[in-house]
Structure 1
Amino acid sequence: MTEFRGAWSEEEIESFLHETTIPIRIATRRSDGSLWPVTVWYRYRDGYFECATQARADLVAILRNDPGVGFDVSTNDVPYRGIRGSGVATVSRDGGRDVLRELVQRYLGGTESSLARYLLSDDRDEVRIRIDPREIYSWDYTERMRGV
């Protein structure tokens, strides 16, 4: 069960995550113990994040070795606001291409661009990453940055 804390209610957090097309930043731990941040597209539904990446990506190996993650979805423009938290990631071959197709629609607005066609090409072996959040902390600097 996810613990929600911070400036927003659970419903406000869900609205932010559905409306915002900022990639999620995931902090992982490599096998040598060093930290490794990765930025990927996400969708949020039913209380968890889903991402897609190539099966041979370093991120997949890292998560299979250590599924614990930290994450951040926050705006890059004033006023700064967003969420951060921690959770557990699961990598699965099931549904990777379907998740990727929805992410391409979400972030690129369709499947007709050359980038969309490349990402959806048959020769790519996609996996699904599911992140089950343990805690989500929301923050919003709208008031303090009002005059900026």
Structure 2
Amino acid sequence: MTMEEVEQFLESKLNLQFATVDNKGDPNIQPVWFYFDKNEEKLFIMTGKNTYNSQNVRQKPVIYFCIENGNTPYKGVKGKGVATIADDLQTVVSISEKMIMKYLGTLDNLMANTVYECSKSGEGIIIEIIPRFFSTWDFGKITSLAH
């Protein structure tokens, strides 16, 4: 994919598969909502202060991620990055609001209110991912070699 296609793809409502490694060396993979800021070239996810995701990032900030479309033609973005935790209320609320609007389109329903209240209460944090490497695929661009 071109960089423009990657940016458009990352604005989709697909989940990001977020992979961390725990203190025993075991992988932990979670599907999460995400927000992509193309100006900062960063990915953001929201989670709780005491989740496995946040604990693992505090111990080992190198993470892996994958966003893929499960329908044909298959396409996706996967990569490796460094994650940091933002827990200041302004950042948490701002990014959470962007994620809620991306996935739900409104702040006015039960799920949106639950997520938003978690971010405003100080229980939520934002994990900021700076991609260090990523690759893409788009099987819709593969041309037939058989005649």
More relative contact order, 1 or 2 (CA 8 Å, 6+ apart): 1
Q: Distance in 2 between matches of 1:49 and 1:130?
A: 6
Q: Where in structure 1 are there 5+ consecutive unaligned residues?
A: 1-7
Q: Kindly tell me the number of residue pairs found equivalent between the two proteins.
A: 138
Q: Percent identity?
A: 24
Letter in 2 for 1:42: F
Q: Does 1:43 align with 2:32?
A: no
Q: Does 1:57 align with 2:66?
A: no
**CA contact 1:78–1:145 (8 Å) conserved in 2:** no
**CA contact 1:53–1:96 (8 Å) conserved in 2:** no
Deviations 1:32-84 (A, max 9, x none): 00111011111111211011111122210110000111110110212110110
Aligned pairs for 1:60-75 (under 5 A) are 60-75=54-69
2:132 to 127, 131, 134: 134
Q: Where in structure 2 are there 5+ consecutive unaligned residues?
A: none
Moved over 4 A (4+): 143-146
TM-score for both structures, normalised by structure 1: 0.86
Letter in 2 for 1:114: L
**Pairwise CA RMSD of aligned residues?**
1.7
More helix by share: 2
Q: Distance in 2 between matches of 1:103 and 1:145?
A: 36
**CA contact 1:79–1:145 (8 Å) conserved in 2:** no
